[in-house]
Each structure stands twice: as C-alpha cells, then as structure tokens.
Structure 1
Amino acid sequence: MTETQEPVGKRDLMRRRAVLAGGAAIAAGGIAAAAVTSASAGEDPAASSSATRPGATATGDGEVCYRLTSQTTEGPYYIDADKIRKDITEGKEGIPLTLRLKAIDSDTCKPLPGAAVDIWHCDALGLYSGYEDSSTGGGPPPTGAPPTDTPTDAPTDTPTGTPPTDGPGGPGGPGGHQEPTDDKRYLRGTWLTDRHGFVEFRTVFPGWYRGRAVHIHTKVHVGGKMTDAGYEGGHTCHTGQFFFEEAAVLDSAELAPYSTSTTERTTLTEDTIYDQSGVQGGLLKLSYRKNDMARGVVGTLTMGVDPDETHDGTGL
C-alpha cells in the first residue's frame, strides 16, 4: 500500500514516530518559523523522516532504525569524561547551538538509556580548551609593528619528522592523543541519555581550523557509572564526529566572531575524516532562522551504535 493509500491517522502516526527517532530537524524555542532545515547529502528536507534515507531502515511499526554510525579517529584533544554537564559554553562567544542526540542499538533499534555521551569541539576561532597552545586557531591578526628580531636567514636544516595530523589533513595524529597544556575545559562535557536514549547539550556553533571542516567530536560510553570524579568504568562503544552542512557554515561565517577568522576553511567535501555518507557519517540536521542565525541553531542526529563493541578511536 502506498502512502497515498494509507489511512490518514496511520500515516500521521508513522510520520510522528519517524520524527521521534531523531531523523528530522527539531524546531523549538522560536526557531521553527521561517527556519532553514538542512538536508544531508542533497536530501530533500521534506523527506528527511523517510525510511529510505541513507543509514535508515523501517521496522514493522514505522519506527526508523539507523545502521551503525561511522567510527572516526579520536583526535589529539580528548580529555576523559570529567565534566558532567549539559551546558558546556562557559561563556564562550558564538552562535548558540542546541545539540539533541539519540543513541540507539543499531542491531535492535532500541534506545540506549544511561549511556554517557561525550562531546568536545573548538571555539568560534578554532581553539580547543586544554590545548590552546597547540591547537591552530584562526583569530584576527595581531596589531602593531612586526617584531624587530624576526630572523631573516633561511633555515639550513630540513625537518625529517612527519608532522602530526588529526587523521589526514589536520593537527594531532590518527588518534594520536596529546596531553593537555592548560587547565581550561570550555566546550567539553558529558551527560547521560534518558530512558528514551535522548541527550541534549547547550554549546556554541564551532569554528574551523587548518585542514578540517567544521565538526564536533563525540564518544558514547556504556557499562560504567557516574562518580564524583566523572564517568568511570565500562567501555567506549562509539567514537565519531558530527558535521555541518556547508550552507550553514557559510551563514555562520557572516557573523562575529566567526567573520574575524583568518584561517582558510576546509569544506565538507574536502574533509578527509567525513566519509560523505550523510546521516550515517555524522551529518547533523540543522534548523535556524535564515536571516537571524545569531538567535541560535538546533542540531539533531540519531546515533546507531553497537553497545557490545569497543571503538575508542585510537586505532584508526
């Protein structure tokens, strides 16, 4: 039976279930009206709840189930889950971003309650907390006269080592973890999923840095417990990254402080970590007012993970 042949009540119920699964962008807090909703990999936003979209299959009752979300490198700037909080902004300047995630078992399609979800990302100018000296931010150029002791001779020694990369094309080594260089912890946090598998964070829209498209890192931990020191025990069943549609990044680049960045951007299609697979590869659904992005953005995604596997992102 086609959709046009189905009873209206049943069709509406299936649509509501598909939206609940996290596939479509969620509008809230005044963002719904006149909002832009980005689609992944050229998808039609109106069809974003369809079971035929990349990474999704339909179960018998109309619920949308996602295949295993792509695993990626941990990157160099991960710090263990010691900041148990939903609001990770710490007063950082930038476009408000509400990140709404759902974790499900990719095999059974059932939600994962009590899973610890980590997220961490750079600020609007490309700097990571804990690593401000080593991350490559793109702030405005310094003012004043150039230093008088700038060396003028060309170096005679050719470097022989291989520069670190955040996977190919960015700082930090495939997984190559670095020890923190400062005690700042902005734009980092961990929170548990609720009984329906949902978790929500308040943060800011990330900026960009050399060699990488705009992204947010994530880990999903299961089998552990919350302690005074953070989330401990269990294992990491997913390490991945969330990505942003190019149109939304271009809109953000029109606003301060993003507009002051001097770093050349790497586009989504040029990024060497994103696998170009849309939702399955971590591409967020974004909703915001086209002419008033500064009011805020809502990003949503359903993560299909295998709670029995271990994926810590260090072996990629």
Structure 2
Amino acid sequence: MTDTQTPEERRELARRTVLAAGGVVVTAVGVGGAFVAGAQASEQENACYTLTSELVEGPYYIDADKIRQDVTEDQEGIPLHLRLKVIDAETCRPVRNAAVDIWHCNATGVYSGYEEMGSGGGGGGPTGPPPSGTPTGTPTGSPPPGGGGGHQEPTDDERYLRGTWRTDRHGYVGFRTVFPGWYQGRCVHIHVKVHVDGTWTDAGYEGGHTCHTGQLFFDEKSVLASAAVEPYASNTTTRTTLDEDTIYPGNGHAGGLLYLEYDHRHIARGVHAHLTLGVAPDETNDG
C-alpha cells in the first residue's frame, strides 16, 4: 500500500485481503510475502464437486438400530476417534440430520454378528472330504467373504463395533471405536452408509433412503504401527495391503482414505481420523 492510493482503493485492497484470508489457506512466499491463494482456492472449489466413491456394502451389514456414538463395547484395541463431515457434493452445503452407519471388524478380524465365521469369514475354510464328480449347473449362494460378497445372515446376537448417529447442522458426526484389524483378503477398513430424508424417532431412524455406501481406509504406515501392538500383533491372518486390496479404488481421499493424526512413537495412545464425504442426497446408493 502506498501514500498515493485513494481511500477507496485502500478499502478495496483491505476487503480483498480479508476475503482471501477467510476463504482459503493463504501462504506467504518470498521476501515480499506474495499470496499464492488462487490455486488453493481452485483446489478447494473442485473438492466440493468431488463425489466420494460408492463401494460395495459387503456381506456383514446389519441394520441394528444401535443409535450411539461409542460403539466400542468391550472390544480391546487402539482407541479411534472418527469424525466425518457429510456435504452435498454439488452445492458443498452440509447435509444435516443424516443417519450415518459405521461397522467394522475387531482387532483380530472378527465382525460382531458373524463370530462363527472367524477372521476372514472362512475360519479355516471348508472341512471334510473333497467333492467328487464333475460340477454341473450354475453356482448358487453368496460369494465367499473377504471380497464384495453378497449379504450373509448373522450367526449371533453380538453387535459391537456397529452404530448409527446423526449429523449436526454443520454436517459433522463423530464416533468412538477402536482401530480395526484385518482379515483374509481385505485391507484394514471401516464400512459407512449415509441415509437421508428419513425421520428421527425415539426408536431410531425410520424411512428415507441410502444416498451413500462406502468404505474408509487407513494408510500402510498406520497399519504397520498398529500391527506391533496387542491384540493386533496376535492376528496371524495374512494381511492384504492397501495397494493389494481389490475394493479400495486407489483415488486417495475421494476413495475413502482417511486423514489420520497420532503419536507415531506411541500409536497405542489413540488415533484421530477424519474425512469429508461428498454425497448426492437425491440419489440412492445402497451398495
């Protein structure tokens, strides 16, 4: 700013500076402290119009109506604080009063409701004598667990590491759980669904439709760190890495890769995870 500027010019420059500082992260570079806000503003705008990848529901979903933020129950593991923000990917506005479901396996790869299936769903695999003769016809039934899989009927009444909570007026929802383990054929992940246009009642969430079905993923560094901590260290199932996983779309945060914060020397103290989910509220994506 120079002494030759008119009062109007000075006010306009000040207004632009406030808008830049309030709308984007402004970085000062060089001796003169030049702003590089333009590119960051563009990236932020484009992010608003990025839909989070729709992925398969998997075989272990249960509509349990467990309306709670703390889904841990008695499960051991590294504390995980998960915070999600749900926005309309077209308008960037928060999606309020949505019902968000999460569910995942425990530290040793077992899902509640499916304990008989063990880690990876298959336990030790088929037992007994091998079949004889030549197969005929078309295979029936659900695909084996571990991949996309069709829905499996629950085998028990356990419901740990499952829960539903509502988004606030800013689109945020939070859960307390434990860092998931791994099981046969899959990398470490959490399943998520977003339901809209329903009604919250004393009994839970009723009606509406599912606008998003996805999965949340963890980077390899965090998984390797968790694997050195009990009870994860006792999980003898061969681990599938993020790059080897057949469901992770490989597109970073738009594909569900979480932002993680933790003490890299002491991950056992806890992990904070967050992500923004860009959804299409008018569409149905039930996985």
TM-score, structure 1 as length reference = 0.73
Task: Provide the C-alpha distance between the structure 2 equivalents of 1:205 and 1:216, rounded to a whole number of angstroms.
Answer: 9
Per-residue CA deviations over 1:208-250 (Å, capped at 9, x if unaligned) read 0000000000000001122343211000000000000011100
Instruction: Indicate whether 1:69 and 2:43 are aligned.
Output: no
1:119 to 87, 99, 102: 102
Seen in structure 2, the aligned counterparts of structure 1 residues 172 and 179 have a Cα distance that, compared at 3 Å, is: farther
Matched residue of 1:58: which SS? helix
Task: Provide the C-alpha distance between the structure 1 equivalents of 2:264 and 2:254, rounded to a whole number of angstroms.
Answer: 26
> Which residue in the other structure is 2:216 paired with?
242
Per-residue CA deviations over 1:127-164 (Å, capped at 9, x if unaligned) read 000111124259xx9xxxxxxxx97xx63537954772
Does the 8 A contact of 1:192 with 1:199 survive in 2?
A: yes
Seen in structure 2, the aligned counterparts of structure 1 residues 156 and 189 have a Cα distance that, compared at 3 Å, is: closer
Amino acid at match of 1:212: R
> Which residue in the other structure is 2:258 paired with?
284
Q: State the 1:12 CA deviation.
A: 4.2
Alignment gaps of 5+ in structure 2: 1-14, 27-38
Matched residue of 1:279: which SS? helix
Amino acid at match of 2:80: L
> Which residue in the other structure is 1:133 paired with?
116
Amino acid at match of 1:266: T
Per-residue CA deviations over 1:3-32 (Å, capped at 9, x if unaligned) read xxx987555433469xxxxxxxxxxxxxxx
> Which residue in the other structure is 2:130 paired with?
155
> Which residue in the other structure is 2:143 paired with?
164
In the alignment of these two chains, the number of paired residues is 253
1:206 to 176, 180, 186: 180
2:23 to 11, 14, 17: 14
* Greater gyration radius: 2
2:81 to 98, 107, 125: 98
Matched residue of 2:93: which SS? coil
Matched residue of 1:127: which SS? coil
Seen in structure 2, the aligned counterparts of structure 1 residues 182 and 306 have a Cα distance that, compared at 3 Å, is: same
Task: Provide the C-alpha distance between the structure 2 equivalents of 1:11 and 1:159, rounded to a whole number of angstroms.
Answer: 71
Seen in structure 2, the aligned counterparts of structure 1 residues 51 and 80 have a Cα distance that, compared at 3 Å, is: farther
Task: Provide the C-alpha distance between the structure 2 equivalents of 1:301 and 1:50, rounded to a whole number of angstroms.
Answer: 18
Q: State the 1:251 CA deviation.
A: 0.4
Amino acid at match of 2:203: A
2:232 to 216, 235, 258: 258
Comparing both chains, which one has the higher relative contact order based on Cα–Cα distances under 8 Å and sequence gaps of 6 or more? 1
Task: Provide the C-alpha distance between the structure 2 equivalents of 1:307 and 1:172, rounded to a whole number of angstroms.
Answer: 24
Matched residue of 2:23: which SS? helix
Amino acid at match of 1:97: L
Amino acid at match of 2:183: Y
> Which runs of at least 4 in structure 1 moved beyond 3 Å after TM superposition?
6-12, 14-17, 49-52, 158-163
> Which residue in the other structure is 1:35 paired with?
none
Amino acid at match of 1:155: P
Per-residue CA deviations over 1:247-302 (Å, capped at 9, x if unaligned) read 11000001000001100000001101011000110000000001111110000100
1:272 to 246, 256, 266: 246
Instruction: Indicate whether 1:177 and 2:177 are aligned.
Output: no
Alignment gaps of 5+ in structure 1: 1-5, 18-48, 142-149
Amino acid at match of 2:61: Y
> Which residue in the other structure is 1:58 paired with?
45
Instruction: Indicate whether 1:108 and 2:108 are aligned.
Output: no
Amino acid at match of 2:226: S
